[in-house]
Structure 1
């Protein structure tokens, strides 16, 4: 009886051990299954959800790239309330020599008048101010020669300081010819509006005779001009107008107005002419480039940044502007069609890239100097 009891106890013990082992095994499998389920929920949810996650990651990545590009292209610079960017080279400057390089057909004639009238008024009141002198014509072709640039720069430095140079001068690197860099300023305009203005301005008698225009050609609208231009070059319907027109003689309109000049203007007289070269020169050497679409604000900026001891402050410049008429403004200028403007936009693609760069730089500068902006002039 005792043996039977012992045997029964052993059987019970074995049964309990087996039950415990099975329970542990089942629980272990459940944990593994649970971990797999969790993995599937977090990492391999479903193809549809996985695609959503991948798309969101792509969007976030693209947004980061866009933000990074914007910061690098437009908002990479830091400026304080003086309006000076950290990329602007302040050292080795001649502060009492200001070069207004006068990009054509951007309201430059009016700005020249404003500067000259302001200086004259200060002189009459026996106040210190800039000496000014208008230089015309600027020998652009000659200035591609180093010795000609040197002689030209020497002539400017011979002027009595403080001196404000006024004239259609492309960027001239004074350091390259052994001088310290002066203070550069300029004014730019929306490329299509500038081109329309230049087109009609070039049809005035003093210019159309130089271009040997017939009477009919002087009265030709921009729409007619572009129709002839595309027909003569065989570029009607071309997807890439810049590529199609490249290297071809654009004689249909007999006008110098339809050209990309902003890139050339700010690249200067060196061998490299490109958007990047123009941007680099602007960053390093231009204290301020105003925008015609914000004309009054540009005057305030000029007056703020140009040393006020010479009486070119915001108040005097704006007050002078109120007393003079806008110069060289076309009357009853017929606007081209939307089709022609679209063609122009294509042709002036590099011009617009540089214009947008200058515009964003200008707007950033206005914000730094806390100058309020209005729409229009």
Structure 2
């Protein structure tokens, strides 16, 4: 004998209303139809649950039935829901308990990966893929909802370190921020992606003003400032087109040491190279995104298996166009020369990363 189901509304169990003329008059039949319509409407508005009843039918099923998995102890088991793997965090200590924490884990036995993403280096496209992979490969991903400051105060550094070491591994944490060191844990490692420095600068300049198809921006300045081209901005040496705005990428790898903010010096670059060599599993390039994902997949298969196939699929479907900055005006030859000179150290880092990625592909046997 199998198990069937009936709906239960309040105090009245309803299985099937009699509708034959032997049991009701015409007026009663009309009343029964109204009652049935009322109950059907009521069922969509109320929380309902299922009561098991005995039935002679061997295969009782329907839209309101739920499959039951029999257990040896006689209790009913229902199919497990897929475990949540993606979490937002507002960087508040009092909300950390909503995140997947596993403080009993040995911090040196499981992967804890930080993606300290550089703005306007394709990171939103990459994040979409990482979210997909978190569910596919079953790792935890924690995404900060705070976008600044990039250079963290001491209390914020301590809070983020506490979370990363307490999170249940394997875990991927992402935020816009400069490099943080974890000297007491060898399993906290980094990944990142950069792009040609001038291309990144142009993209950020116009994104702040016009956004893209997914994120239209409300520029806070005047109309004159909004529609000022990048050529005018550089030639007039506006604050957003000079100084540390042109040495923007290096601090993401140099870190929070005061020397990392030095301009026109090789010191920040050398410190950045040291951190990259010691802490970054992979540092890829946006203009070599497929190769970057191939290296990620080989270096960290537990997290990034299937990454290359997913980026290829998205490129074929042109899903990444929604993140392309609008209304970009390319710099003139004169402005381009100025930017190349001002971004000399940025290009030294870019060339270093390009060579390192090439060597990683060779070491991992990736032929593309």
Provide the secondary structure at the position in 2 that maps to 1:202: helix
Q: Any conservation in 1 of the 2:150–2:178 contact (CA below 8 Å)? A: no
Residue 168 of structure 1, CA deviation:
1.1
Within 1, Cα distance between the matches of 2:332 and 2:303?
48
Structure with max Cα Rg = 1
1:134-149 alignment runs, 5 A limit:
134-140=143-149, 143-145=152-154, 147-149=155-157
Q: Deviations over 1:10-52 (max 9, x none)?
A: xxxxxxxxxxxxxxxxxxxxxxxxxxxxxxxxxxxxxxxxxxx
Within 1, Cα distance between the matches of 2:309 and 2:110?
21
Within 2, Cα distance between the matches of 1:113 and 1:196?
23
Residue 310 of structure 1, CA deviation:
6.6
Provide the secondary structure at the position in 2 that maps to 1:197: helix
Mapped pair 1:129 → 2:138: yes
Residue 139 of structure 1, CA deviation:
4.9
Aligned to 2:23: none
Aligned to 2:292: 298
Aligned to 1:261: 248
Which structure has more RCO (C-alpha within 8 Å, separation ≥ 6)?
1
More strand as a share of residues: 2
Residue 321 of structure 1, CA deviation:
5.6
Aligned to 1:64: none
Within 2, Cα distance between the matches of 1:329 and 1:204?
11
Aligned to 2:340: 345
**What is the TM-score with the length of structure 2 in the denominator?**
0.61
Indicate the RMSD between aligned Cα atoms, in angstroms: 2.7
1:1-377 alignment runs, 5 A limit:
93=108, 95-120=110-135, 122=136, 128-140=137-149, 143-145=152-154, 147-175=155-183, 178-204=184-210, 209=219, 212-229=220-237, 250-251=238-239, 258-273=245-260, 274-308=268-302, 311-312=305-306, 314-316=308-310, 318-319=312-313, 322=316, 324-373=319-368
Provide the secondary structure at the position in 2 that maps to 1:357: helix
Residue 318 of structure 1, CA deviation:
4.0
Q: Any conservation in 2 of the 1:134–1:165 contact (CA below 8 Å)? A: yes
Provide the secondary structure at the position in 1 that maps to 2:366: coil
Residue 311 of structure 1, CA deviation:
4.1
Going from structure 1 to structure 2, the CA distance change for 1:326 and 1:295 (only over 3 Å counts) comes to farther
Within 2, Cα distance between the matches of 1:193 and 1:281?
24
Residue 218 of structure 1, CA deviation:
0.7
Provide the secondary structure at the position in 1 that maps to 2:284: strand
In structure 2, list runs of 5 or more residues that go unmatched.
1-106, 261-267
Going from structure 1 to structure 2, the CA distance change for 1:272 and 1:159 (only over 3 Å counts) comes to same
Within 1, Cα distance between the matches of 2:310 and 2:233?
43
Going from structure 1 to structure 2, the CA distance change for 1:309 and 1:276 (only over 3 Å counts) comes to closer
Q: Any conservation in 2 of the 1:105–1:198 contact (CA below 8 Å)? A: yes
Q: Any conservation in 2 of the 1:199–1:256 contact (CA below 8 Å)? A: no
Going from structure 1 to structure 2, the CA distance change for 1:103 and 1:142 (only over 3 Å counts) comes to closer
Aligned to 2:37: none
In structure 1, list runs of 5 or more residues that go unmatched.
1-91, 123-127, 230-249
Structure 1 stretch displaced more, 150-159 or 285-294:
150-159
Q: Any conservation in 2 of the 1:119–1:311 contact (CA below 8 Å)? A: no
Residue 165 of structure 1, CA deviation:
1.1
Q: Any conservation in 2 of the 1:93–1:183 contact (CA below 8 Å)? A: no
Aligned to 1:20: none
Going from structure 1 to structure 2, the CA distance change for 1:148 and 1:257 (only over 3 Å counts) comes to closer
The alignment of Structure 1 onto Structure 2 pairs a total of residues equal to 250
Aligned to 2:7: none
Provide the secondary structure at the position in 2 that maps to 1:165: strand
